[in-house]
């Protein structure tokens, strides 16, 4: 369901550790639905612990940065 002017969202987080992409705050989830803040100017974004998120632009060689 989508609610107009909602400032929160309820999402399912599988059992593991998650990190808020903006604050890097750690959240231990037990495989439950969690209500998180979702103001109009911020998309709720979480990274699953133990995974590598590449931020570097691709290069043609290993020397290129």
**pLDDT per residue as tens digits for the range 9-64:** 899 999 999 999 999 999 999 999 999 988 888 889 999 999 888 777 777 777 76
Count, residues in the chain: 65
Is the pTM here over 0.85, yes or no? no
Radius of gyration of the chain (CA): 16
Kindly report the CA angle at 19 between 14 and 25, in degrees rounded to 5? 130
- At residue 1, the pLDDT reads 59
């Amino acid at each position: 369901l989508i609610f107009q002017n909602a400032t929160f969202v309820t999402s399912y987080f599988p059992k593991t550790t998650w990190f808020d992409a903006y604050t890097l705050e750690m959240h231990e989830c037990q495989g439950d639905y969690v209500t998180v803040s979702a103001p109009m100017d911020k998309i709720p974004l979480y990274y699953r612990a133990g995974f590598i998120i590449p931020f570097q632009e691709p290069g043609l060689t290993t020397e290129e940065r």
